[in-house]
Chains A and B, each alone.
Chain A
Amino acid sequence: MQKSLLINVDKCTGCLQCEMACSLDNEGMFNTSKSRIKVFDFHEQGQFVPYTCTQCAEAWCMKACPVDAISVDMATGAKVVSNDRCVGCRVCTIACPFGTINYNQTTGKVIKCDLCGGDPECAKACPTDAITYVDADWTGLDRMRDWAGRSSAGAQAEA
């Protein structure tokens, strides 16, 4: 069963523990500038928004790649960049509508979220559960439960 990263914006405090965990796993050091997940600070609204690849089923990046460097990890559903194949042409960065695949000047390759092989470090590092890793078919489950709860309370109030 595949899982998805689920982001609850209201819970994010903007601490960047996710970016550090991501860079440690992928780069072997703490380096938020090389993180695959980015947290955006919408200062005037008082909102922090983590954003990363949603692993599109028909991924634009994968289709655009001229050297087939991006493939599907069948276990996780992640679209994974092969560093051996990637030539750093960056066509995928143009193709991706969401901007979540990016070029890394240090290596000359592109980087994107690969779900850490099915155990995403960002979700484990998040201190507030703003990022969780849940059943890909039920990313709406918590919200459904909230609304179900309200219906239940409403039904009781009416009874």
Chain B
Amino acid sequence: MAWTKKILRVNLSKGTCKSEPLNMDWAQKYLGQRGLATKYFTEEVDPKVDPLAPENKMIMTTGPLTGTCASTAGRYSVVTKGALTGAIACSNSGGFFGNELKNAGWDMIIFEGKSPKPVYLLLEDDNAQLLDAGEYWGKSVWDTEEGIKQKHRDPLIRVASIGIAGEKGVKFACVVNDMHRAAGRSGVGTVMGSKNLKAVALRGTKGIKVKDFAAFSQATAKGKEILAGNAVTGQGLPTYGTQVLMNVINEVGALPTRNHKDVQFEGAHDISAEKMHEKRASDGKANLVRNAACFGCTIACGRISQIERTHYTVAERPKYQGASGGLEYEAAWALGAATGVSDLEALTFCNFVCNEQGFDPISYGATVGAAMELFEIGAITTKETGGLDLTFGNTKALTELTELTGKGEGFGAEVGLGSKRLCEKYGHPDLSMSVKGQEFPAYDSRGIQGMGLTYATSNRGACHLRSYTVASEVLGIPEKTDPLVTDGKAGLVKAFQDATAAFDSAGICLFTSFAWTLEDVAPQIDAACEGGWTADKLLEVGERIWNLERQFNLAAGFTGKDDNLPKRLLKDAAKTGPAKGLVNGLDKMLPEYYQVRGWTTEGVPTNETLSRLGV
């Protein structure tokens, strides 16, 4: 139980929808969501496939806890080969889409092929239909979601869709559900667009059963109690959201600024959580309207904000004047510190546009940062940018470019390539602050050393959500380690990576891991699912998933040489803050990491490791 034990296979080339039983042997080895969908994906797809070819597949997948009352258990993921990276991609989203899929009776949907014309999938319990999406093609996420609900006269439908960015092939396009929750990274929305799949609309009424309701109620109640009593999940996140980090990370000297030229941003306070709470002088209202929860979440870290109505970005534009989702920390950093812009209202606007047109604010903001540096050194001029003055800190250029990128127009189409392709095109590949083609998130690895190893070895390219050692190195969770040293980080990163893969496969939010260990998760899964789930079993599942993803990437053509960081982080020392004088010590951590992973010195899992894990 907890799994519905059913998957839907949608062949977009043929226009067919078929039900299949879930492979329960794999469910025992890979749990669900990230792990289980990656198993299906790697069994079915040639690792060398072009991410935008019909032969690539895209899986929307839930975990066994998705749709239950376990805290945060509304998650789903999109698994595919990433358009931005060419590596395995797994982007996780909250909101209310995952539980609806589960409630309709499905663990996952596998999309294969390519539709000859734009379509959307309407899935109401057992009834799956591919419908013409001609009227929505060329429309935003917001208009598509509203349009589908109105067309079917059903406000309870949940929609995940792509915006114009995904249609136009912006390499970091997202799949956005519930207006502002996104499977955001690696270009999973780009893959969806390449399949001519505009949206997935769901209604579920079947209900979800668990193995033992009494034990489950008890285990989940205990889990919620731990979250409520924890300083991060019980106070920090509900009050300030992830934005609680802006001032903290700036103080630590790990806030990447102006394309990682600096590690501290003079405008950090102006784009921080504290600033979002402050009443504006102009209208006496704060940018932040309230906090909000995704399905089943007792943390409620989501930010709902409203832009000052007289701000130049929204005056005379009512559709941006209402409340909507953002700013979260990563978006505030990428749109702000990475570009040197510190106008909170402008950044909120950019975030709304990212949601509206479905593209990742992290990769987008970081790519604008790279473009601004190209502009600074004269590698591009207003001739290439279509007249935009891309000087660091130019707010109006940023907001204009955001709208262009969302529609894949003008210089926005070039920004939509991502920083790696953009910087290569203009002859300065070293200026792309990325790993495996994916841009860094909001932590500079000179100031938080473990994050350098995290980024270098992440299976989906640079990412904080594969092993968030910031928790240990800055926040002291589960125990404090020194962010300025490399000692012990190899083991720390491996432990975080394996545990995270298990969290990501359960249907719950990774943020629970600020308070929960796998010892807290295991009783919840065990009460819901057959299989004798313990923390040890979950950790093994996590390690198995990590190695499976690694094997896919190696077969796709990546090697140990790609476990690297841009020269800037390895050669140019941090200029200010606690990490002043430091570069990232990746060379000290990586060999040890390969060793603790049971991989060769070239970063290839040994046969012994693979057979131990049963990969």
- Enumerate chain B residues within 8 angstroms of A107, measured Cβ to Cβ: none
CA gap between A47 and B292 in the complex, in Å: 9
Of B48-56, B159-167, B205-213, B582-590, the one touching chain A: B205-213
- B213, A24: Cβ atoms closer than 8 Å: yes
Q: Contacts A45-B323, A127-B298, A128-B300 given; indicate if A30 touches B293 (C-beta within 8 A).
A: no
Does A48 sit at the interface, judged by CB under 8 A?
yes
Distance in Å: Cβ of B406 to nearest Cβ of chain A: 20
Instruction: Tell me, in angstroms, the Cα distance from A31 to B4 when the chains sit together.
Output: 13
Q: Write the A119-149 contact mask toward B (1 if CB under 8 angstroms, else 0).
A: 0000001011000000000000000000000
CB of A69, distance to nearest CB on chain B (Å): 23
A10 shortest CB reach to chain B, Å: 8
A43/B293 in contact, CB under 8 A = no
- Is A83 close to B, CB under 8 A? no
- Give the residues in chain B near A14, CB-CB below 8 Å: 292-293
User: How far is it, in angstroms, between the C-alpha of A116 and the C-alpha of B147 when the chains are bound?
Assistant: 38
What does DSSP make chain B's interface, helix, strand, loop or mixed?
loop
Determine if B207 and A44 form an interchain contact, defined as CB atoms under 8 angstroms apart: no
Q: How far is the CA of A39 from the CA of B68 in the complex (A)?
A: 17
Contact-size category for A = 20 to 34
Q: Which of B69, B96, B156, B213 contacts A17 (CB 8 A)?
A: B69
CB-CB under 8 A from B103, the residues of chain A are 30-33
- CB-CB under 8 A from B217, the residues of chain A are 24
Minimum distance in angstroms from B334 CB to a CB of chain A? 23
- Report B-chain residues with C-beta under 8 Å of the C-beta of A87: none
Cβ-closest chain B residue relative to A20: B69
Contact A33 B156 (CB under 8 A): yes
Q: How far is the CB of B480 from chain A (nearest CB, A)?
A: 29
Say yes or no: is A23 at the interface (Cβ < 8 Å to chain B).
yes
The residues of A that contact B289 with a CB separation of less than 8 Å are 45-46
A20-B296 CB under 8 A given contacts A31-B206, A46-B289, A46-B306: yes
Q: Flag whether B120 is at the interface (Cβ < 8 A).
A: no
Check A13 against B69 for contact (C-beta < 8 Å).
Answer: no
A27: which B residues are within 8 A, CB to CB? 207
Nearest chain B CB to A74's CB is how many angstroms away?
A: 29
- A23 and chain B: residue at smallest CB distance: B207
Given contacts A45-B322, A46-B290, contact A15 B297 (CB under 8 A): yes
What 5 A-B pairs are tightest by C-beta distance, nearest first?
A31-B207, A44-B322, A46-B323, A46-B289, A15-B293
- Which positions in B face A, CB cutoff 8 Å? 67-69, 96, 99, 103, 156, 179, 203-210, 213, 217, 224, 228, 238, 289-298, 300, 302, 304-306, 322-324
| 21 A–B contacts from the bound complex (CB under 8 Å) | A13-B292, A13-B297, A14-B292, A15-B293, A15-B295, A15-B296, A15-B300, A16-B293, A17-B298, A30-B67, A30-B68, A30-B210, A31-B205, A33-B203, A33-B204, A34-B205, A45-B289, A45-B323, A46-B292, A46-B305, A106-B205
